[in-house]
Copies of this chain bind each other. A is one copy, B any other.
Amino acid sequence: MKQSQLFTKTQKKAPRDEESINAILLQRGGFIYKEMAGVYSFLPLGLRVLNKVADIIRDEMNKIEGQEVALSVLQPKGLWQKTGRWNEGIGKDVMYKCEGGEVGLGPTHEEMLTDIVKHHIQTEKDLPVAIYQIQAKFRKESRAKSGLLRGREFPMKDLYSFHVSDKDFKEYYKRVKQAYLKVFERCGLEAIVTEASGGEFSKEYSHEFQVLSEAGEDLITFCQKCHFSQNKEITDSKAGDKCPKCSSVLRQEKSIEVGNIFTLGTKYSQALGAFFTSRDGKKKPVVMGCYGLGLSRLIGTIVEVFHDKDGIIWPSETAPFQAHLIALPSADGKTAKQILTMSEKIYKDLSSQGIEVLFDERENKSAGEKFADADLIGCPYRLVISEKTLEKNSLELKKRNEQKLKLIEIAQLPALLGL
């Protein structure tokens, strides 16, 4: 994409009403726009990142036989009454309601999806089934000061699985855990699998994925040696204590919960009547699991973990563009034109090879302004076309997370950019 055609402009100053690094950098870069506390719109650069993250998640969910759907935001009161959640817990405190309190906006979709599945399964043969969606969730958050880390409206992936038995659920649960780790790995993040409160269910099948960060609202105790980890909410252990599993010294740090997976048992299937007929002819309630992953929180976490004083440093697979191609200005009009022509050619070459390039061909910007924008936006590679390029048929390449410049021949570019 040509940068002059991108309607968003970068901002030098941080927005007045933001405290968190992710909100500041993402707004300064033109990725998002704040509509109100906890509510952000995604602008072209931000939507590109969101789509990248969604593609990673979709890919990993499809690998574990997830079937994608898109459920409505508007939620029927009747279903929530059947599970007793309309006037209690999440339905009472967290769910937005409209139409005189008669219609809810989905904070989660157990009720609706269990109702749908109920109408499509009959016998043991129809199970297991895993269904997910990537869709906006709405939650009344009293604290919404952490930018994308805690939203009132935010895109979320929610996967639900339906099984004939606890045994089958547990096997699938392990596969989801691995799929989640793969998602975070592809997003460049190291996630710690943390034991969490199982609520009314066994905590053996309730885990959070935590990423260490000063911006986090969670506190986890963890062992670096054997990977034992617990949310502070469920443990009295503290930093310096001995790991109950391997006796190493425990650490305690702030972290961001980027995902959670847990058992639902038969709570929803019983309340909503999702039964199947087993091989021995008995009617049994479906055993369920639930697996959440907030996309905007994930993006916010990436920014919290990967940035420096100049801007964002996107991990490769989540970057809005792989390369930021910069045509430098020149005092000499003729040279400036030659630089632009050569840049245009390289832009077209790379694009035609499938490399996503943001091409800064703006003529009224100084080298300094262009570099500052590139640092802020944070594409993995910066390619600079200058007078030197004209002379030597080579360009300056810099990785966003490295200091050193590399002079490379243009023909080497595709290989260097991973093609």
Contacts and interface: CB of A to CB of B under 8 A. Distances in A.
Interface of A: 5-9, 30, 33, 35-36, 39-44, 47, 50, 65, 67-76, 96-99, 103, 105, 112, 116-117, 119-122, 125-126, 129, 131, 136, 138, 140, 152-153, 364
Contacts of A5: 65, 67
B153 A74 contact: yes
B116 A73 contact: no
Nearest to A9: B120
A74 B400 CA distance: 35
B119 A35 contact: no
A69 B36 CA distance: 17
A116 B74 contact: no
A6 B117 CA distance: 11
A129 B75 CA distance: 36
Nearest to A116: B33
Most buried by B among A99, A112, A120, A129: A120
A74 B8 contact: no
A259 to B, nearest CB: 21
Contacts of A74: 35-36, 39, 138, 152-153
A156 to B, nearest CB: 13
B47 A70 contact: yes
Nearest to A117: B7
Contacts of A122: 9
A33 B73 contact: no
Contact of A75 (B35, B70, B138): B35
Given A30-B120, A74-B35, A96-B98, A42 B69 contact: yes
Contacts of A125: 364
Contacts of A96: 98-99, 103
B153 A7 contact: no
A131 B73 CA distance: 24
Contacts of A120: 7-9, 30
A69 B41 contact: yes
A142 to B, nearest CB: 13
Given A96-B99, A98-B96, A98-B98, A116 B72 contact: no
B30 A43 contact: no
Contact of A7 (B41, B67, B76): B67
Most buried by B among A67, A69, A72, A74: A72
Contacts of A67: 5-7, 44
Contacts of A39: 72, 74
| Closest 4 pairs between A and B when the two form their complex, measured CB to CB | A98-B98, A41-B71, A42-B70, A7-B129
Nearest to A8: B120
23 contacts: A7-B129, A7-B131, A8-B120, A9-B122, A30-B120, A33-B116, A33-B119, A36-B76, A39-B74, A40-B72, A41-B69, A42-B70, A44-B67, A44-B69, A50-B70, A73-B138, A73-B153, A74-B152, A74-B153, A96-B98, A96-B99, A98-B105, A125-B364
Contact of A73 (B73, B75, B97): B73
